[in-house]
């Protein structure tokens, strides 16, 4: 549309915004005198629409003028079969004009009616019913009209000018030309049922100029008939045209399809194709703007490249809900370090928002069945271009460890501690029993009050959970009531002396402490994870990065400039990966932090400016 808005449209037409109008448009092959016909039928021969004796087409695109006598908007269109670029877009444009018209004149100068006339009208009718009716109904609802714009399409007048041949039906007065036209449509298997009526108006020109009086009368007669299409304000005409223009816009690939029909489905349906199986989307164009997802008529096939297998929770499915689940390194309730400690022990988890953790890959050391046979259903889904692929990457454990490292490195520099100490106290806090006082709160020994220095070791009494120096907690005794089993463990001097008095811990929920087994498991997991952490701390971060990159991240060497602001990366401008889409950004375009549960990050991590704008969970 070359018109900016409704006011501009009304101003250029030079009509009143409250005036009720109808729309008349003209179609036909190039050089058949369409502009000339409109000038003589509506404007008494004045050259309102440009005409030219040159070979090149004088009408490019679509033009409109207002006839104040008959109160109609007259629309002139580009001729069919002309030499033109972007043929597909131009042909689609004709159908948008046809959809908003009340009356369509098909102008032909052929001595005999050609098949392309019937083919054009038949295809236009089919495309109108299939693609435009729904959009016009939506416009009607938006504009609050009583009369639906789309009950029936426009009326058609076939204006046939001959020189050497007789007009249709003039041989036998009993033959009605409209009946002959209907027979011809039927023979060609074209069914123009979208049009409210089809009339034939012929004129034979023995000597120029052409006589347009018969066409003028036929047009006026059709315009007076308000039974199927009633006049409407120019604003409504503009809104309908704008709605169709916005919905059915964009490039059309130059396929062979365009030649089998005037208006193939490709002109109006979404052009996206599944990357895995090659099937096209069946939704109409630009449906993504309304938040409607892509959809295909056929099922997809599995592709290793896109890993388009999606898991849904079996228990929820049996209850009538479809809930997708993502295998990942830790449950959402675990903090990053606890998650890694558990991952070292029990592998990946599958967590359902309704049922909680439904599977841990190494929960039992043997006899653990594959989740596909027990707790999840598998579906293969289409991979559409521009979507974020399949958000179920359980291979980012190493990157999560690195993210934790960076977080720890910041804490370390703030606390100016040796890395191992910081990691130890942090990790101990994360997986310590609930009754232990956090390391960060222990500033001095609970018994002798000696302040702890940076490198002093703090010891927890296994009985009371307070923090002590080595001297005040050197004794050991069994603390079975706290879940430490029959083996002797470190206790403070006071708890050692009071060992005959049973600690009142009955009110503690048993599952929170988890008994002796959990204590032993946690201890082992801490050692494993600590080993990994300390080793990772000693290796330069750059070397670890490549090995730790999740599969969906764009490799560093391929990232030359920021995906958003296009700034070129240099030594001064660092690259950062968005944890949701995997593209590379500068710090400025990716300073937001959000949890990305679909990728296995349940805690706020770096996301880019675009992903942060997306509603709902990432």
CA distance 366 to 515: 22
Task: Find the range with the poorest average confidence among 248-252, 255-259, 549-553.
Answer: 255-259
Give pLDDT, residue 59. 77
Between these two residues, 390 and 601, which has the higher pLDDT value? 601
Give the pLDDT band (50/70/90) at residue 253.
Answer: low
The lowest-confidence range among 526-530, 557-561, 599-603 is 526-530
Q: How many CB atoms lie within 10 A of CB 366?
A: 4
What is the pTM (predicted TM-score) of this model? 0.52
Q: How confident is the model at residue 367 (pLDDT cuts 50, 70, 90)?
A: very low
- Tens of pLDDT along 293-308? 888 888 888 876 666 7
% of the chain with per-residue pLDDT over 70: 70
What is the CA angle 143-149-152, rounded to 5? 170
Cα–Cα distance for residue pair 108/24, rounded to 1 Å: 17
Provide the pLDDT for residue 38. 95
Q: What is the rounded average pLDDT for all residues in the chain?
A: 76
pLDDT at 330: 55
Whole-Å CA distances, 456 to 104, 410, 466, 470, 492:
92, 21, 16, 9, 17
Q: What does the pLDDT average to over 36-44?
A: 94
CB contact at 8 A, 491 and 479: yes
The whole-number pLDDT of residue 331 equals: 56
Backbone angles phi, psi at 606, to 5 degrees: -65, 130
Of 189-203, 346-360, 509-523, where does mean pLDDT reach its minimum?
509-523
pLDDT tens, 212-236?
A: 999 999 999 999 988 777 888 898 8
What's the confidence (pLDDT) of residue 373?
61
Percent of the chain with pLDDT over 90: 20
524 close to 345: Cβ distance less than 8 angstroms = yes
Which 3 state secondary structure label does DSSP give 576? strand
Tens of pLDDT, residue by residue over 144-170, are 655 555 456 789 999 999 999 999 888
371 — pLDDT class (breaks 50, 70, 90): low
What residues contact residue 535 under an 8 Å CB cut-off, 6+ apart? none
Tokens 């990357």, residue located: 275
Whether 507 shows a pLDDT value over 50: the answer reads no
Res. 413 pLDDT band, cuts 50 70 90? very low
pLDDT in tens, 87-124: 777 778 888 888 889 999 999 999 999 988 998 899 88
Specify burial of residue 453 (Cβ count, 10 A radius: 0-12, 13-18, 19+): exposed
Say yes or no to pLDDT of 580 above 90. Answer: no
For residue 43, the model assigns a pLDDT of 93
Q: Which domains does the chain have, with CATH numbers?
A: 6-253+262-266 (3.40.50.300), 309-394 (no CATH), 421-500 (3.30.40.10), 552-617 (3.30.40.10)
Q: Which residue has the higher pLDDT, 388 or 413?
A: 388
The residue-averaged pLDDT of 484-505 equals 75
Q: C-alpha distances in angstroms, 478 versus 42, 470, 489, 594?
A: 106, 18, 6, 44
CB-based burial, 551-586: b 16+ in 10 Å, e otherwise: ebbbeeeebeebbbeeeebeeeeebbbbbbbbbbbb
């Amino acid at each position: 549309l070359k018109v900016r808005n409704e006011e501009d449209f009304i101003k250029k037409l030079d009509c009143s915004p409250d005036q009720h109008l109808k729309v008349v448009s003209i179609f036909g092959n190039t050089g058949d005198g369409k502009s000339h016909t409109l000038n003589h039928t509506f404007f008494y021969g004045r050259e309102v629409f440009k005409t030219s004796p040159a070979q090149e087409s004088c009408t490019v695109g679509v033009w409109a003028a207002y006839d104040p006598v008959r109160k109609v908007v007259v629309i002139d269109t580009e001729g069919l079969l002309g030499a033109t670029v972007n043929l597909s877009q131009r042909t689609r444009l004709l159908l948008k004009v046809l959809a908003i018209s009340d009356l369509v004149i098909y102008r032909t100068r052929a001595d005999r009616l050609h098949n392309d006339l019937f083919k054009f009208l038949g295809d236009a009718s089919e495309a109108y019913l299939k693609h435009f009716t729904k959009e016009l109904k939506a416009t009607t609802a938006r504009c609050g009209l009583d009369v639906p714009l789309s009950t029936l399409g426009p009326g058609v007048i076939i204006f046939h000018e001959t020189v050497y041949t007789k007009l249709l039906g003039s041989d036998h007065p009993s033959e009605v030309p409209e009946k002959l036209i209907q027979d011809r449509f039927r023979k060609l298997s074209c069914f123009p049922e979208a049009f409210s009526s089809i009339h034939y108006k012929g004129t034979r020109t023995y000597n120029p100029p052409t006589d347009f009086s018969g066409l003028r009368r036929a047009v006026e007669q059709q315009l007076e008939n308000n039974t199927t299409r009633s006049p409407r304000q120019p604003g409504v005409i503009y809104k309908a045209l704008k709605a169709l223009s916005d919905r059915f816009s964009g490039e059309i690939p130059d396929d062979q399809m365009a030649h089998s029909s005037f208006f193939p489905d490709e002109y109006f349906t979404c052009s996206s194709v599944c990357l895995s199986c090659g099937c096209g989307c069946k939704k109409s164009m630009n449906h993504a703007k309304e938040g409607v997802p892509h959809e295909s008529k056929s099922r997809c096939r599995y592709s290793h490249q896109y890993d388009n297998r999606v898991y849904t929770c079996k228990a929820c499915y049996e209850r009538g809900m479809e809930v997708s689940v993502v295998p990942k390194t830790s449950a959402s309730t675990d903090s990053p370090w606890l998650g890694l400690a558990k991952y070292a022990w029990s592998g990946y988890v599958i967590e359902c928002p309704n049922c909680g953790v439904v599977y841990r890959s190494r929960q039992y050391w043997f006899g653990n069945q594959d989740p596909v046979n027990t707790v999840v259903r598998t579906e293969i889904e289409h991979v559409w271009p521009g979507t974020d692929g399949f958000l179920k990457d359980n291979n980012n454990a190493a990157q999560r460890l690195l993210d934790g490292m960076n977080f720890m490195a910041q804490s370390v520099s703030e606390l100016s501690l040796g890395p191992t100490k910081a990691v130890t106290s942090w990790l101990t806090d994360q997986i310590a029993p609930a009754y232990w006082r956090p390391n960060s709160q222990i500033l001095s020994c609970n018994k002798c009050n000696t302040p702890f220095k940076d490198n002093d070791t703090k010891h927890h009494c296994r009985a009371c959970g307070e923090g002590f120096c080595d001297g005040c907690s050197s004794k050991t005794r069994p603390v079975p009531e706290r879940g430490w089993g029959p083996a002797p463990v470190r206790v403070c001097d006071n708890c050692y002396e009071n060992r005959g008095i049973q600690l009142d811990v009955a009110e503690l929920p048993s599952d929170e402490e988890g008994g002796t087994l959990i204590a032993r498991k946690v201890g082992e997991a801490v050692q494993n994870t600590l080993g990994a952490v300390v080793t990772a701390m000693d290796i330069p971060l750059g070397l670890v990065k490549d090995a730790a990159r999740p599969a969906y991240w764009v490799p560093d060497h391929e990232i030359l400039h920021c995906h958003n602001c296009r700034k070129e990366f240099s030594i001064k401008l660092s690259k950062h990966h968005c944890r949701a889409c995997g593209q590379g950004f500068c710090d400025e375009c990716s300073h937001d932090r959000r949890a990305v549960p679909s990728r296995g990050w349940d805690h706020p991590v770096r996301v880019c400016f675009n992903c942060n704008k997306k509603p709902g969970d990432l």
